[in-house]
Amino acid sequence: MMNLSSHSQGCQERYNTRHVALRIAYLGWDYQGFASQENTEKTIEAELFEALMKTRLIQSRETANYSRCGRTDKGVSAFGQVISIDLRSNLLEGLGVIQTPGRKAHERPGDKTQEIEYTHILNRMLPETIRVLAWTPVNPSFNARFSTLHRTYKYFFPRGNLDIKSMQEAAQKLVGDHDFRNFCKMDVGNGVVNFWRTIISIDITPLDNGEVGYQMHELTVIGQAFLYHQVRCMAAILFLIGQHKEQPEIIDRFLDIKAQPCKPQYSMASEYPLVLYDCAYKDIQWIYEKGDQDHNISRLQCMWTQQAVRAVTLKRMLDGLNIVPVPAKQTDQNQEASNAEITATRPWHAVHPSIINQAAFLLLGTASKSHKPLLDRPVCESLEDRIKHFAKKQRVDSSD
């Protein structure tokens, strides 16, 4: 009986490999994050490697020279995630092509001039919520993580009762080189002890001209690299400023580590509006195959249609609730008796103040009736205390 693993390896040896970059989009709402995890297979990376193995584009993850640009968290989506990896190639030479030992690829029958249709093959195996948008050959030294020039995140939100001008003013204070330890979840356990990062630009722009409260906006943040939960923490503070619960100057305070060495306890913004929108590289020319491009657009249009119809359904229900008739007393000036009153009805919105709390629903945790200022709240451990804690823990672990 033929050993299938040996047969597969033998077939692989008859092909060269090629170092390529893949641009990937995914809707992360129903996934446990991008990176593979031991306790779940519901990750983007697990789906990718299952497809890569089924299509025999790689032999194993360990031998694939794999790198990822970003490690998005549970519920976070991406339009411009990038990975670099060595894939099976039809070609004998060219950018990124790595010759097999013994030049066995030259002996293989079949076409050696047309490259494998990577996007088409992978998309056939991947779920509709994960799409390979494009690919490009790269030098063997290219690394999706360390070759990145900068990353762009977008956070989408309804205006609600937010003061966008105050948020924009506060957001500009985040631009530049800063210690962002008060705008992230410290990941000291994984060796992160340097919290200086560079924000290249940050902007808040409207996406449509919708009615008051329902107008959608996007927060766009461009930076060289980001800390754990950094964008969601920044968004949360900007929301508090937009609600006039905090002043823009709170940003200055949080960036002054001498004045504020410990992070006050506050809830992050929700994960599902966050998108890793782009990863920028030098001299990258993405290859978009027409057939796959058409299919990807059609599938996204289908999903958009479903979500848009649901959104309109909810909006029409809200409109209906705002015009339901409610009893109201009013003076009938046509009556001879000046104080005569009749019972009438008026629409709900004419009697009660408008409810425009849309943006508040994007802050995690239970909303309190009164806001406790950030500087009056309990604080988390300092960086120094956390380092001591993990150093002590490692000593204990190593002695067991």
Q: List, by residue number, the catalytic residues.
A: 73
CA–centroid distance for 38 within its chain: 22
**Taking every pair of C-alpha atoms in the chain, what is the biggest distance, in angstroms?**
109
Q: CA-to-CA distance for 388 and 179, rounded, in angstroms?
A: 20
By DSSP bridging, strand 16-26 and strand 130-137 are antiparallel
Phi and psi of 360, rounded to 5°?
A: -65, -25
CA–centroid distance for 209 within its chain: 25
In the structure encoding, which two tokens stand for residue 338, read together? 């000046």
Q: CA-to-CA distance for 198 and 220, rounded, in angstroms?
A: 14
**Are 152 and 303 in contact, with CB atoms under 8 Å apart?**
no
Sign of torsion, CA 67 71 74 77? negative
Compute the residue count for the chain. 400
Q: CA-to-CA distance for 270 and 233, rounded, in angstroms?
A: 10
Whole-number Cα distances in Å, 23 to 18, 180, 221, 296, 355? 16, 29, 20, 13, 41
